[in-house]
Amino acid sequence: MLNILYRDERIIVIDKPSGLIVHRSVLDWHETRFALQLLRDQIGQHVWAVHRLDKGTSGVLVFALDKDAARHLSQAFEAQQMEKCYHAVVRGWPQPAGHIDHALSRRYDDAEKRHDPSKGEPQAAQTDYLRLATIELPVMIERYPVSRYALMQLTPHSGRRHQLRRHMKHIAHPIIGDSTFGKGVHNRYFAEHLGAARMLLHCSALTLPHPDDGRLLTLQAPFSGEFAHLVKRMGWQDSLGTGSIQPAALQSEP
């Protein structure tokens, strides 16, 4: 059962788990479970996907419950009328705060490549980041005797595909668990020794205009599962504020 964060007559919002794709894709042709299908079956009515989260990313995911709401919400996402807040664990210690202004070439699905084989011109992309907490572990993973990691708050101001993952790689602080843009040795260490085998990127909050009257609706998804366990293990929970981690997830920590 998917965790429903909010529902009214026009929209429904879930906390998407890591490892679940939003809808059927030629890139994940072997997958048999999709958030759209699971949610439709769970509530017994059709839903429309209005944006996407990467398969490995967890957190706030919005669906429309009718075509008109889908149109309004899709337009709002395209016009960047949403405020998004993500949290991530990255390799190294970035600056305490910063702004990334780095254009990104467009990335296509396989189906899109059949119609337009060119990658197109790079598109403007901006991300703000804030370093919330750090840790230095006494383990040698690369060439240094210790390994540093940081908990980050990321705010994208554009909606390019894989933007946060590519931007963090661009500043040499890739997201842990990212098999495409990250570093395999660190990903394996977290999976094998710290119990975090997923990509450590979570959409924790999203503010959007409601399709009925434009009123702003803020939706939040606390950390849970492997991400919540890791945050507690690193001693980072106080840096997130009250309500950022689901209590049940912490109580189950061995």
The CA distances from residue 5 to 65, 134, 184, in Å, are 15, 30, 33
Other Cβ atoms less than 10 A from the Cβ of 117: the count is 8
**Nearest CA to 16 among 156, 153, 221, 228?**
221
Known catalytic membership, residue 54: yes
**Nearest CA to 244 among 222, 221, 227?**
222
Locate tokens 């509530």: which residue? 43
Contact in structure between 135 and 89 (CB atoms under 8 Å): no
How many CA atoms does the CB half-sphere of 169 hold within 13 Å? 15
- DSSP letter, residue 181: T
Write out the DSSP string of 132-158.
EEEEEES--SSSSSSEEEEEEEEEESS
Looking at 54, 66, 110, 212, which residue is catalytic? Answer: 54
* Residues with catalytic roles: 54
